[in-house]
Chains A and B, each alone.
With several copies, the nearest count.
Chain A
Amino acid sequence: MSIIPASVSRFFHRTASSPHFYALADKFIPWLIVLFLLLLIPGLYGGLVMAPADYQQGDSYRIIYIHVPAAWMSLFIYVLMAIMGGIALIWHMKLAEVMLISSAPIGAGFTFIALVTGSLWGKPMWGTWWVWDARLTSELILLFLYLGISALYGAIEDKRSAARAVSILALVGVVNIPIIHYSVEWWNTLHQGPTVSKMDKPSIHISMLIPLLLMAGAFKVYYAIAVLQTAKLELLKREATAQWVKNLLENKA
């Protein structure tokens, strides 16, 4: 603990206490929803209506507005989970454990979306639903990583041990992330190389780029909302007998 200033540590301790977090989540969620809609609606309008059709791909490229943000999220959430796993292991922070395990189903959801939308995009573009190239296959493996984390957590009855186990697994599994990300550069594949994420000079038109970035933002906010909801459930499950839950129930009744 000594490497962290006392004030920061106190803040974490307070936020990390379950009832405080539970109340805080309730407070934040409405604002997050507003922000989500502010990003989503212009994003969808810009992407589906305003942006011109691609000169090569026609309208099918509009799948990009969900495929790419979802694929990004699938990687981003896993990295976040690994970080939270590290925090949970080093500082024994319960809240990090809860956030980690709550992220798994959402990450799996985004991975699934990336796979399905990619497949649906691949049919008109490449003429096939699926090719066994490095990026596609490794994204499929990422789905298994997410499912493995959820399965391991479910299999261990003592939830404290389960959270430790999952933290270790999340940290170890993070080695696959660079493989997925760089697969297009390491192996020549059918899949698009980095077009958007080359930040210095994105090779995509600005009218297509802006909705894409809006959608990416919307998905991030969505993640925040969903993970808070799931974390609330997880906290309740883990601390069903705690005093603060009893108080909560009494206030409701």
Chain B
Amino acid sequence: MEHTNPAELAVVDLACGRDDRLLFSGLSFGLRPGQVLLLEGSNGSGKTTLLRTLCGFREADEGEIRWCGQLLEESSYYADMAYVGHAEGIKKELTVLENLRFALALSQPGHYGIDEALQKVQLAGYDDNPVHTLSAGQKRRLSLARLLITHNILWILDEPFTSLDRQGIDLIETLIDAHVKQGGMVILTSHHDLSLHHIGLQRIHLDSCL
């Protein structure tokens, strides 16, 4: 929250591969507060690989990623971003509340309190349910509640709509919308069609990045 230079993600000339196969190269883009980036591409085109590279899990084969003009390790990047991947990072044996409290302990408090966030993702009243009693869609919602209770500017979401019904999808679109309006940024992948047309939406098609 105490950023002096404007938050900005800049990706320059990125190339990533798996084994010896190059997935994409020469990928460049910038993302500023209020913007959404939608990654498209067929199965295996490297969307997940790109997101994980942006998280710093993988090293890029070439190119660089900068946050507020600095390399990731030297910047406040990890305090400013949040990632929800295929695996949700939620403990099945713990309750909803315990999971969120732990997420909070690893990070800084964000815009919303836990109760408020659960309300927002329509999980109010499930506080003390162990997560393994939740349905797949409810689990997804819980992992999104984490985004609300912790401080972050950049959301990186890998197929956030999987296992969500129509109503769940609308909910996330609302959340993304609100986050972006508050000056946040979002990068996501999805095979669904998005109804986010009204905000500054960039699209990148990975199949064409070779």
Q: Consider the complex of A and B and state whether they touch directly, i.e. have CB atoms less than 8 Å apart.
A: yes
Instruction: Give residues in A with beta carbon < 8 Å to B.
Output: 157-158, 160, 239-241
Against A, the Cβ 8 Å flags (1 = close, 0 = not) of B61-79 are 0000000000000000000
Asked if B20 is at the interface (CB within 8 A of a chain A CB), the reply is yes
Write the nearest CB–CB distance from A6 to chain B, whole angstroms.
20
Instruction: Give residues in B with beta carbon < 8 Å to A.
Output: 18-21, 59
Write the nearest CB–CB distance from B94 to chain A, whole angstroms.
17
**A80→B195 CA distance, assembly (Å):** 59
* Chain A residue with the shortest CB-CB distance to B59: A160
Closest 8 CB pairs of A and B: A241-B20, A240-B20, A158-B19, A157-B19, A160-B59, A158-B18, A239-B20, A241-B21
Beyond contacts A158-B18, A160-B59: 6 other A-B pairs, Cβ-Cβ < 8 A, are: A157-B19, A158-B19, A239-B20, A240-B20, A241-B20, A241-B21
Write the nearest CB–CB distance from A32 to chain B, whole angstroms.
31
**A99→B70 CA distance, assembly (Å):** 33
**A157→B59 CA distance, assembly (Å):** 16
A selection of 8 A-B contacts at a CB cut-off of 8 Å is A157-B19, A158-B18, A158-B19, A160-B59, A239-B20, A240-B20, A241-B20, A241-B21
Q: Describe A's contact surface by its main secondary structure.
A: loop
**A158→B52 CA distance, assembly (Å):** 15
**A127→B48 CA distance, assembly (Å):** 64
Write the nearest CB–CB distance from A220 to chain B, whole angstroms.
35
* Chain B residue with the shortest CB-CB distance to A238: B20
Write the nearest CB–CB distance from B39 to chain A, whole angstroms.
22
Write the nearest CB–CB distance from A91 to chain B, whole angstroms.
14
Residues from chain B with a CB closer than 8 A to the CB of A239 are 20
**A43→B18 CA distance, assembly (Å):** 49
* Chain B residue with the shortest CB-CB distance to A164: B59
**A157→B19 CA distance, assembly (Å):** 8
**A20→B161 CA distance, assembly (Å):** 45
Write the nearest CB–CB distance from A224 to chain B, whole angstroms.
29
Write the nearest CB–CB distance from A128 to chain B, whole angstroms.
42
Residues from chain B with a CB closer than 8 A to the CB of A241 are 20-21
* Chain B residue with the shortest CB-CB distance to A241: B20
Write the nearest CB–CB distance from B119 to chain A, whole angstroms.
28
Which of B18, B20, B21 has the most chain A CB atoms closer than 10 A to its own CB? Answer: B20
Write the nearest CB–CB distance from A96 to chain B, whole angstroms.
16
Residues from chain B with a CB closer than 8 A to the CB of A157 are 19
Residues from chain B with a CB closer than 8 A to the CB of A160 are 59
Residues from chain B with a CB closer than 8 A to the CB of A158 are 18-19
Write the nearest CB–CB distance from B169 to chain A, whole angstroms.
27
Residues from chain A with a CB closer than 8 A to the CB of B20 are 239-241
